Amino acid sequence: MSAHCEITPELADWIQAQPLFFNATAPLIPEGHINLSPRGLDSLRVVDSKQLVILDLTGSGNESAAHLLENGRITLMFCAFEGKPRILRVYGNGEVIRPRHPEWARLRALFPSNIPGVRQLFHIEVSRLETSCGFGVPLMQFVAQRDDLPRWAEKKGPDGLERFQRKHNQRSIDDLPTPQ
């Protein structure tokens, strides 16, 4: 295992090349549920050596946002499924950026404007990174990103997405509020 205090240019290039990563968050209460979310769809940007941004699309839950609002803790994990084996864990503090936030326009501009279903952004200040071997991670071939979520969001439309978020994304499964 090798620890780093910032994202090197080589790690930044490797992070951006990964078609899949995971983010983990948890509430402060011991009996609370740890959330682990798979992410794809070109939803991550390296801003600089200490900052990342995740584009968060509307989904069935909003656990990551609730946990970030409560305590800010987040861990990302990247695995090399092709090429040389590697695992990278990124530890940091995150903030939920909603459309009314002063940083929304600047950070949202890092992603294509035509992605349907954007709910919010997660702005992450990196505190630590760790790389490990990844020898146990299987080799798999990337075929394509799924288009189910963007198609679902397009079909719902802006008003339908807003209704869905009001109905399904207001509280976490541990009854924590989500950012509004």
pLDDT tens digits along 140-179 = 999 999 999 999 999 999 999 999 999 999 999 999 999 9
Query: Which residues neighbour 47 within 8 Å (Cβ) at sequence distance 6 or greater?
Result: 53, 107, 110
What would the mean pLDDT of 133-137 be, rounded to a whole number? 95
What would the mean pLDDT of 74-81 be, rounded to a whole number? 98
Q: Does 44 or 180 have the greater pLDDT score?
A: 44
| Dihedrals phi, psi of 25, to nearest 5 degrees | -140, 165
Token couple for 123: 């702005």
The residue extents of the domains of the chain are 2-168
pLDDT tens digits along 25-46 = 999 999 999 999 999 999 999 9
CA-to-CA dists, residue 43 to 17, 33, 47, 54, 81, angstroms: 12, 24, 13, 6, 18
Confidence of residue 1 (pLDDT cuts 50, 70, 90): confident
Domain 2-168 class, CATH top level: mainly beta
